[in-house]
């Protein structure tokens, strides 16, 4: 059974600081997704990581994938308030639905 674990589950960080969210998964996977959810809103896709060593960047967010370690990281650079949201990673294997982590609630404070 595929399990996905994120940590931390809650993260309060100061503006301008850097931090990393971790996503571990339990079995071989085809691809890994990162989603963002703003309060009261639905989920929007941020990144799709397809292969070992894949790195994707958009603005202050950078996601990477290490399939051998079954680990993905979402790195936040010089955080700003607009990045406050809940971030989910999700994984699937073969033709199966995505399994989501529990989410990391990020709060960026001045």
Partner 1 sequence: DVKVTQSSRYLVKRTGEKVFLECVQDMDHENMFWYRQDPGLGLRLIYFSYDVKMKEKGDIPEGYSVSREKKERFSLILESASTNQTSMYLCASSPPFNSPLHFGNGTRLTVT
Q: Residue numbers of the site for partner 1 (CB under 8 A)? A: 9, 30-31, 33, 41-45, 48, 88, 90, 92, 94-103
CA angle (55 as vertex; 86, 19 as ends), nearest 5: 45
Q: How far is the CB of 44 from partner 1 (least distance, A)?
A: 8
Task: Lay out the sheet containing 61-66: strands in order across.
Answer: 4-7, 19-25, 71-76, 61-66, 55-58
Q: Which is nearer to partner 1, 69 or 97 (CB)?
A: 97
Q: How far is the CB of 103 from partner 1 (least distance, A)?
A: 5
The H or E element that residue 39 is part of is none
Q: How far is the CB of 89 from partner 1 (least distance, A)?
A: 10
Q: Which is nearer to partner 1, 37 or 73 (CB)?
A: 37
Q: Which is nearer to partner 1, 28 or 96 (CB)?
A: 96
Q: How far is the CB of 42 from partner 1 (least distance, A)?
A: 4
Secondary structure of residue 81 in the 3-state scheme? helix
Phi, psi of 27 (to 5 degrees): -135, 170
């Amino acid at each position: 059974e595929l399990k996905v674990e994120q940590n931390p589950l809650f993260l309060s960080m100061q503006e301008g600081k850097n931090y990393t969210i971790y996503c571990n998964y339990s079995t071989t996977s085809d691809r890994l997704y990162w989603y963002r959810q703003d309060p009261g809103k639905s989920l929007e896709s941020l990144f799709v990581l397809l292969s070992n060593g894949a790195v994707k960047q958009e603005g202050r967010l950078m996601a990477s994938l290490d399939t051998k370690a079954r680990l993905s990281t979402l790195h936040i650079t010089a955080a700003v308030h607009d990045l406050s949201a809940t971030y989910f990673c999700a994984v699937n294997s073969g033709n199966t639905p995505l399994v989501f982590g529990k989410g990391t609630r990020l709060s960026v404070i001045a």
